[in-house]
């Protein structure tokens, strides 16, 4: 029993890590973009993508990707597994589609949560105050909002972090 778990655990870990990677690469940037472009076609498109990511069953998406990417286009193998320690390139090729399918629903959830959090930050008092004191609307991006959120609890004009620039009002 433990031998079987030992054989299957590396595959499971690799699949989970790659699925989380796909979820973060897709969900966070699109969520930020949707929040910055709130109530535009970009926001509505991101919401449609998130809704379809939550609505489409994983088994159906997997079958459709196999038919399109493997059978029709021939880009990736339809099945199989190769250990990452034996052939890393082949291992990644065989894991891309399953990881994407598993990360799809998580990406949709992450996109919605990221958008919600960014909308809350961008509509908070310290961002409005910064805009009123001369920040251009284009400057209140993710980095600026995060830096100001980190800095607002500090009574100093500079943050204690090396990545945070001075905030002067």
Q: pLDDT value at position 136? A: 54
**Three-state SS for 82?**
coil
DSSP 8-class letter at 80: -
Structure confidence by residue, pLDDT tens digits, 34-60: 999 999 999 999 999 999 999 999 999
Question: Which residue is listed with tokens 């990677």?
Answer: 21
- How far is 127 from 140, CA to CA, in rounded Å? 7
Return the exposure string of 11-48: e unless at least 16 CB atoms fall within 10 Å of the residue's CB, then b: eeebbeebbbebbeebbbebbbbbbbeeeeeebeebee
Residue among 58, 56, 53, 73 nearest 15 (CA): 58
The pTM score is 0.74
Q: pLDDT value at position 133? A: 78
Confidence of residue 143 (pLDDT cuts 50, 70, 90): low
**Three-state SS for 148?**
helix
- How far is 66 from 16, CA to CA, in rounded Å? 19
144 pLDDT more than 60: no
* Percent of the chain predicted with pLDDT > 70: 79
Q: Give the rounded distance of the alpha carbon of 94 from its chain centre.
A: 22
Q: pLDDT value at position 157? A: 45
Exposed / middle / buried, residue 56 (Cβ in 10 Å: 0-12, 13-18, 19+): middle
């Amino acid at each position: 029993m433990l031998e079987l778990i030992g054989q299957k655990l590396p595959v499971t870990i690799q699949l989970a890590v790659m699925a989380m990677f796909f979820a973060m690469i897709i969900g966070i940037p699109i969520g930020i973009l949707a929040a910055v472009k709130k109530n535009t076609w970009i926001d509505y498109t991101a919401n449609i993508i998130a809704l379809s990511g939550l609505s489409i069953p994983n088994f159906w998406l997997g079958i459709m990707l196999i038919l399109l990417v493997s059978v029709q286009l021939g880009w990736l193998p339809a099945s199989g597994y190769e250990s990452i320690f034996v052939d890393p390139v082949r291992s990644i090729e065989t894991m891309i589609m399953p990881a994407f399918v598993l990360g799809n629903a998580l990406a949709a959830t992450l996109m919605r949560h990221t958008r919600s959090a960014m909308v809350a930050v961008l509509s908070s008092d310290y961002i409005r105050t910064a805009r009123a004191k001369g920040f251009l609307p284009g400057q209140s991006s993710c980095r600026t909002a995060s830096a100001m959120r980190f800095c607002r609890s500090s009574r100093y004009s500079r943050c204690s972090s090396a990545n945070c620039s001075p905030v002067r009002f």
